[in-house]
Amino acid sequence: MFSSLSISRKMASHIVGYPRMGPKRELKFALESFWDGKSSADDLQKVATDLRCSIWKQMADAGIKYIPSNTFSYYDQVLDTTAMLGAVPERYNYTGAEIGFDIYFSMARGNASVPAMEMTKWFDTNYHFIVPELGPNTKFTYSSHKAVSEYKEAKALGIETVPVLIGPVTYLLLSKPAKGVEKSFSPLSLLGNILPIYKEVTAELKAAGASWIQFDEPTLVMDLESHQLEAFTKAYTELESSLSGLNVLIETYFADVPAEAYKTITSLKGISGVGLDLIRGTKTLDLVKSAGFPAGKYLFAGVVDGRNIWANDLASSLSTLQALEAIVGKDKLVVSTSCSLMHTAVDLVNETKLDSEIKSWLAFAAQKVVEVNALAKALAGQKDEAFFSANAAAQSSRKSSPRVTNEEVQKAAAALKGSDHRRVTNVSARLDAQQKKLNLPILPTTTIGSFPQTMDLRRVRREYKANKISEEEYVKAIKEEISKVVKLQEELDIDVLVHGEPERNDMVEYFGEQLSGFAFTVNGWVQSYGSRCVKPPIIYGDVSRPKAMTVFWSKMAQSMTARPMKGMLTGPVTILNWSFVRNDQPRFETCYQIALAIKKEVEDLEAAGIQVIQIDEAALREGLPLRKSEQAFYLDWAVHSFRITNCGVQDTTQIHTHMCYSNFNDIIHSIIGMDADVITIENSRSDEKLLSVFREGVKYGAGIGPGVYDIHSPRIPSTEEIADRINKMLAVLETNILWVNPDCGLKTRKYGEVKPALTNMVSAAKLLRTQLASTK
């Protein structure tokens, strides 16, 4: 997997974490086979063991000194920590002992009788985690020995690793009060309750022979209050005696560490090293220079980007490392990735069809491991001149390549300044005009876009891409699938239909394939949650739309029904945030270019007779900077980008958008500022916390559809359960603006789950309509 440099000994090199799905998504397929009952727990564990051992061996062979363990997960690392602490919500009937797959996956996915725990975004990434549910009566017991068993597994191979744990303070700061617990309850108050478990884990690791342990505390980059910072001091002071004899690394990532947090982390007793993200933490280097660094401690310098796929500028990184070396000392500086490499694709070697010039500009996880070691060797006086020279040539090629720049696109984007691109008529008047044309019932029902992606459907797309079937055969197959989806929705009596997106493997990849300035991989998969993997496109140059992208399919679908058919688009901010984005210009400039491309598509859909157009912005909240001082600027250009896409449509054209799996309450005013006619938004899996913002008095005048059931769980909600959710919505939202819909798209579900769930959803809407009519 890793191309090799000559290695005489292991230099001071460190990897924060590594992709766990495997180069060909081996874990994904093993998980899904296990969930479907087609393979055993032993089969799943064997795939996982083989992947782990392969990764450790490859990093060891590449010369990495500090190799992570316990970064592998069957779902996510926060859920692993919940299992370690035995913090299982009561509804799963956990009775103690080692937590097995049954309880673990029930928490992640739900089961036939109880819903899953909430899922939300991991900081500002497209990775998700299962949110811990805690209360004053939560009992903690050491219930998963995964960290120790994986350390021993690596040691049996002759590989010394650094076990990685989510730090105790970050774990609690990412938790929420359990259902039935006062919302004012602070999970951080449980710090003293979980530290004994951490002591047990570290004692076992020490007994097993571990010499280093890594605590990931990324919440240190957030705007923390004084009592939250004090919790770090309290936690690691309490752990100090149990950590004696171990080297302890506190790892941070995703942003600058604020000055007060830096002071806190560098003052912690019993800590051997601090990991800093020097890619997204653009001011951190200056902080280290001005504030200094404690003598005798290691600085793990994150100079290789763990979140993007561009080749490192080795000369620039070496210069940074040399500046740091002068501050912390030659033997106390460790070259590291900025964060876990799980946010990048696995190995560039697998990309046999990628354009050779663009390929020379890239580095996936395997190549980043080599970059880390090359920098560590160079810092130690063993610079590989040929490797550095090839890297410099690739950097120069990218800067000078004519394929990167399109002057016409740049001029069009520059011309956007000076207008806020709002639609002329206010949303209330637009909704009236749209209702006269669409004639929808109260509580109109719809779905979010995608329908189940069957094996046959995936095969058709695969064969078409491989030129094994003709375009005519492909169109015929997709048309048949659209017809099936349309008929099903009509039978279910859904009001506003979708075509099911059978022509799309992924909502971002599909559009990127048809826009200029994008490149695509064959195996560039990245985990999003559980077994769900995405293949982010690579934005390498200026973006434009050469031709219509969705009009053909939308017109075809609309011709099959008299009901409104949504045109389905992905918004510019989501395309940006779910891509590997060029790093040679500000992100907002790229976003404006994408917005102009989507604007052309919106106008073509309207001209083709599509009356309802959904422009998904599922990732708008995801891209919100972690530091409050940077958030207003981001929200300004992100919301502006969305408005650009639809500012020219008629009042009678209804613009929808969709958002999911983030905390939206703190940006509700920006959501209102998007000026969409209707927003569908995830709500059910997060215990309907979205509704609290309306209870607190926020007025929302546009159409809104808070999700009535969780599509990421195989569980089928009853009509009564959905009706109860709708009633909770009606308590805080006007009847005439409320829509009824699932949380998200249905592509990951099976028809055996989708049909009864949608049947119950429509029944619930009709039940409420009848009840509302009888009260008039």
Asked whether 587 and 401 are in contact (CB, 8 A), the reply is: no
Dihedral sign for Cα atoms in the order 495, 499, 504, 510: negative
Q: Give the model confidence (pLDDT) of 23-54 as tens digits.
A: 889 999 999 999 999 999 999 999 999 999 99
For 215, residues 6+ apart whose C-beta sits below 8 A from its C-beta are: 164, 165, 166, 167, 168, 248, 249, 250, 251
Query: Dihedrals φ, ψ of 659, to 5°?
Result: -135, 150
Q: Give the model confidence (pLDDT) of 530-560 as tens digits.
A: 998 999 999 999 999 999 999 999 999 999 9
Which residue intervals of 129-190 are DSSP H helices? 146-156, 168-173
Q: What pLDDT sits at residue 418?
A: 78
Cβ count near 117 (within 10 Å): 27
The answer on pLDDT for 689 being more than 80 is no
Q: Indicate the pairing of strand 161-166 with strand 133-134.
A: unpaired
The whole-number average pLDDT for the span 122-148 is: 96
Q: Give the model confidence (pLDDT) of 199-227 as tens digits.
A: 999 999 999 999 999 999 999 999 999 99
CA end-to-end span of the chain, whole Å?
A: 69
CA 72 from centre of chain:
17
How many whole angstroms separate alpha carbon 395 and alpha carbon 313? 7
CA distances from 448 to 256, 644, 747, 763 (A): 36, 22, 10, 18
Beta-ladder partners of 69: 163
Cβ count near 370 (within 10 Å): 21
Asked whether 374 and 401 are in contact (CB, 8 A), the reply is: no
pTM, two decimal places: 0.92
524 SS3 class: coil
68 SS3 class: strand
Asked whether 171 and 216 are in contact (CB, 8 A), the reply is: no
Query: Dihedrals φ, ψ of 519, to 5°?
Result: -125, 160
> Which of 344-348, 617-621, 667-671 holds the top average pLDDT?
344-348
Query: Dihedrals φ, ψ of 642, to 5°?
Result: -65, -45
CA-based nearest residue to 287, from 299, 297, 296:
299
Asked whether 421 and 647 are in contact (CB, 8 A), the reply is: yes
How many whole angstroms separate alpha carbon 252 and alpha carbon 394? 30
* Cα 195–Cα 149–Cα 82 angle in degrees, nearest 5: 40
388 SS3 class: helix
Which of the four pLDDT bands, split at 50, 70 and 90, describes residue 687? low
The answer on pLDDT for 6 being more than 50 is no
Catalytic residues: 712
How many whole angstroms separate alpha carbon 330 and alpha carbon 380? 8
How many whole angstroms separate alpha carbon 116 and alpha carbon 106? 6
Cβ count near 112 (within 10 Å): 9
How many whole angstroms separate alpha carbon 276 and alpha carbon 280? 10
Q: What pLDDT sits at residue 732?
A: 86
> What is the average pLDDT score of the chain?
94
Asked whether 681 and 706 are in contact (CB, 8 A), the reply is: yes
Asked whether 680 and 652 are in contact (CB, 8 A), the reply is: no
* Identity at 741, one-letter amino acid code: N
User: What's the chain's length in residues?
Assistant: 776
Share of the chain above pLDDT 90, in %: 86
Q: What pLDDT sits at residue 7?
A: 35
How many whole angstroms separate alpha carbon 73 and alpha carbon 62? 23
Q: What pLDDT sits at residue 662?
A: 62
Q: What pLDDT sits at residue 8?
A: 37
When computed from its CA atoms, the radius of gyration of the chain, rounded to whole angstroms, is: 26
Q: Indicate the pairing of strand 678-681 with strand 654-659.
A: parallel
How many whole angstroms separate alpha carbon 540 and alpha carbon 294? 40
Q: What pLDDT sits at residue 282?
A: 85
Which of the four pLDDT bands, split at 50, 70 and 90, describes residue 661? low
Q: Look up residue 773 and give its two tokens.
A: 């009519």
Q: What pLDDT sits at residue 686?
A: 65
Asked whether 625 and 223 are in contact (CB, 8 A), the reply is: no
134 SS3 class: strand
Asked whether 99 and 86 are in contact (CB, 8 A), the reply is: yes
Q: Look up residue 565 and give its two tokens.
A: 């058919």
Q: What pLDDT sits at residue 683?
A: 82
Q: Look up residue 703 and give its two tokens.
A: 């159409």
Match 């959803």 to its residue by tokens. 761
Share of the chain above pLDDT 70, in %: 97
The whole-number average pLDDT for the span 452-471 is: 93
How many whole angstroms separate alpha carbon 374 and alpha carbon 368? 10
Q: What pLDDT sits at residue 346?
A: 96
Cβ count near 42 (within 10 Å): 8
277 SS3 class: strand
Query: DSSP character for 9?
Result: S
How many whole angstroms separate alpha carbon 702 and alpha carbon 679? 8
- DSSP H/E element including 31: helix 26-35
